[in-house]
Amino acid sequence: MDAIAIIPARGGSIGLPGKNVRPLLGMPLVARTVKAALQARQVATVYVSTDDAGIARVAAEAGATVVERPDDLSGSTASSESALLHVLDRLREDGRPLPEHMVFLQCTSPFTRPEDIDTALETLVAKGASAALSVVEDHGFIWHEGDDGFAEGITHDHTKPRQRRQDMKPRYRENGAIYAMRVADFLDRKERFCGPVALVSVPGPAAEIDDQDDWDFVEAFLSVREQPARTSVRPGSIAAVVTDFDGVHTDDRVQVSENGVESVSCNRRDGLGLELLRKRGTRLLILSKEANPVVRARAAKLKMEVLNQVDDKLPVLDAWCREQGLKWSEIVYIGNDVNDIDCMKAAGLSFAPADAHETALAVAGIVLKNGGGKGALREMCDYLISEELVG
């Protein structure tokens, strides 16, 4: 389908400052939405419209094309439609053809899935609609206070017997996540509901993040919904655990003495967790770009194999796997930065510490709650053992 995604994301937020770049289960809010859009089959390009340098950086690292929003469209009173129009204007100014369809996504609605985006666009076309929006089924009874000061039903007639849910005509509530539009109709009307509108029912609660209470609810819900689904690895199928060093065994910081000697900080709990894996017969390997002797010293302490001073990790790890007679599906890889991504994608299961680089967070099968050098490895080991993924 000839479609693009546009994600407006301003820097200013009164209810929850910095929310668009705040990590939700380890991934910044805007990066989460960019990832969902990039994984949608029907979306060709993802644009993020922003006035904030931090949001721009995170969005670009997640794979979006950033469109800098002018000051007159960046205030709290500026409409989302104005940001959408500005992106389309920029495309025309750059000589790029306008798409036939577009989907407007809000990163404050973090339950959006790639398949929901595809469904919205496909429904728009299938029904010949001008617009489509994501909704959730809602059986609630809405009231307001009438002119006489007493309650009146809005979605029901409170003066008649209460209807049973199964007798009610289905009702839907806008969840604020996805709006699909025919670009020609949107340019004509300059509003998201630019003609006949199709409803697209999606699963999950309708939640938009405006304050800390919203954030806490969403985080709790996603921690239950997403974590178990992030791995399809069978029990007992993991034969080896491969780790990066800096940012995984350490907190990615280095202390340098006046003589130029470098030192790092590691976590004893991580060492114990790795020992538990080793005693279960799991192969352990440190694969690092770092040349500092501390890598080999720490590997010796933990009784781990080590390959360091490695720039291109994927072919080196592939050769190691073949030498050991291991399949990629039997490998767990934990990494924290761009040079780990290829190995993370190839491994049967991948992890990233909570404070990993955004690109590593985006591809990780499981994002850990702890940071590098702060218990991330122990958390991973406990997970592998509790799920019986290792021997």
What is the DSSP annotation of 135-173?
EEE--PPPEEE-TTSSEEESSS-TTSPPPPGGGSPP-EE
Backbone angles phi, psi at 228, to 5 degrees: -65, -25
pLDDT tens-place values along the chain, 391 residues long: 899 999 999 887 777 888 999 888 778 899 999 999 999 999 999 999 999 999 999 999 889 999 999 988 888 778 999 999 999 999 999 999 999 999 999 999 999 999 999 999 999 999 999 999 999 988 888 899 999 999 998 888 888 888 777 777 888 999 999 999 999 999 999 999 999 999 999 987 888 899 999 999 998 888 766 655 456 688 899 999 999 999 999 998 878 777 777 778 889 999 999 999 999 999 999 999 988 888 999 999 999 999 999 999 999 999 999 999 999 999 999 999 999 999 999 999 999 999 898 888 888 889 898 999 999 999 999 999 999 999 7
Contact assessment for residue 386 and residue 380, using Cβ atoms and an 8 Å cutoff: no
What local confidence, expressed as pLDDT, does residue 156 receive? 85
- Size of the chain, expressed as the number of residues it contains: 391
Give 288's DSSP letter: -
What local confidence, expressed as pLDDT, does residue 231 receive? 61
Q: Please give the Cα distance from 336 to 119 (Å, whole number).
A: 33
End-to-end CA distance of the chain: 46
Sequence-distant (6+) residues with CB within 8 A of 325 are none
Q: Please give the Cα distance from 276 to 8 (Å, whole number).
A: 47
What local confidence, expressed as pLDDT, does residue 75 receive? 80
Every domain of the chain with CATH number 3.40.50.1000 lies at: 234-386
The CATH number of the domain covering residues in 234-386: 3.40.50.1000
DSSP H helices, the chain, are 29-39, 53-62, 80-93, 114-126, 183-189, 212-225, 268-279, 294-302, 313-324, 341-346, 358-363, 376-386
Interaxial angle between packed helices 29-39 and 53-62, expressed in degrees from 0 to 180 and rounded to the nearest 10: 30
Q: Please give the Cα distance from 117 to 257 (Å, whole number).
A: 53
Q: Please give the Cα distance from 245 to 286 (Å, whole number).
A: 7
Contact assessment for residue 354 and residue 369, using Cβ atoms and an 8 Å cutoff: yes
Q: Among 5, 101, 11, which residue's Cα sits nearest to residue 58?
A: 11
Contact assessment for residue 223 and residue 25, using Cβ atoms and an 8 Å cutoff: yes
Contact assessment for residue 62 and residue 164, using Cβ atoms and an 8 Å cutoff: no
Q: Among 340, 359, 349, which residue's Cα sits nearest to residue 34?
A: 359
- Widest distance between CA atoms in the chain: 85
Q: Please give the Cα distance from 185 to 102 (Å, whole number).
A: 11
Contact assessment for residue 50 and residue 10, using Cβ atoms and an 8 Å cutoff: yes
What the block records as the tokens of 307 is 């390959």
The CATH number of the domain covering residues in 3-226: 3.90.550.10
Q: Please give the Cα distance from 257 to 115 (Å, whole number).
A: 53
What local confidence, expressed as pLDDT, does residue 230 receive? 55
CB atoms within 10 A of CB 326: 17
Strands 283-287 and 262-263, bridge-based pairing? unpaired
Is the pTM higher than 0.95? The answer reads no
Backbone angles phi, psi at 28, to 5 degrees: -55, 145
Q: Please give the Cα distance from 81 to 79 (Å, whole number).
A: 5
Every domain of the chain with CATH number 3.90.550.10 lies at: 3-226
Residue whose tokens read 């100014």:
93
Residue whose tokens read 């002018």:
70
